[in-house]
Structure 1
């Protein structure tokens, strides 16, 4: 039965990591027009159990994208300098939507794996009862 619980833990860790990825992606999308906003990035790391890779994944530390912020010319903007420029956001909406779709599909794949393992475990219990 430990194989079933290990598989459930692996799928659950994938769902948690993808949920965190979706959170950062949605924050990026909602702040795409915020002056000076830097895109949030995250990575995935292998989940370790007593020094051994468990097969699961965890969300790594959040990092900011330090690429150059675009300079926007709008002298009427309250944050504009004396030349009429201010720093925009480095969020690319097309990239964020693609990341959100990928995270959603990965989440759904982990959810299907979780459900399949649960069904297999239930079927095994039914067989053992007979």
Structure 2
């Protein structure tokens, strides 16, 4: 049964990591029009002390690329030239990241379900 537990733990760690990744992607999308907002990204790391393959999210980092300069003289944050710093969020990148995280989440969920079904089938065989 430890192999089943390991497989369930492995897929659960992937589910947690992808859920956290989706949370940051949704924050980026929600703040795409917020002046001065920097895109957040979260790397995956191998979880120390766990079985091989377990992942966790690393420290959240802010994208240090240049902020978009937006021309809007009527904006309260506009400088003397009528420009202000927008965000550096690219919606196409965020949508692609969201799709990748969603598919990875679904794959981990499928693995979790398959492991659970195999464990149930084994228990059923052992009862006979």
Question: Which residue in the other structure is 2:126 paired with?
Answer: 128
- Kindly report the root-mean-square deviation, in angstroms, between the aligned alpha carbons of the 2 structures: 0.9
CA distance in 2 between counterparts of 1:67 and 1:18 reads: 24
Question: What runs of 5+ residues in structure 2 fail to find an aligned partner?
Answer: none
Tell me which of 56, 60, 67 is aligned to 1:69: 67
| CA deviation map 1:61-80 (0-9, x unaligned) | 10000100011111110100
| Aligned-pair CA distance for 1:26 | 0.2
Q: Which residue number in structure 2 is paired with residue 109 of structure 1?
A: 107
Aligned residue in 1 for 2:27: 27
Give the CA deviation at 1:102.
Answer: 0.4
Once the two structures are overlaid, the 10-residue window that deviates more, 105-114 or 78-87, is 78-87
Counterparts of 1:44-63 in structure 2 under 5 Å?
A: 44-49=44-49, 54-63=52-61
Residue 5 of structure 1 aligns to a residue whose secondary structure is helix
Q: Extract structure 1 runs of 4+ deviating beyond 2 A.
A: none
Distance 2:94 2:51 in 1: 30
- Point out the structure with the larger strand share: 1
2:3 aligns with: 3
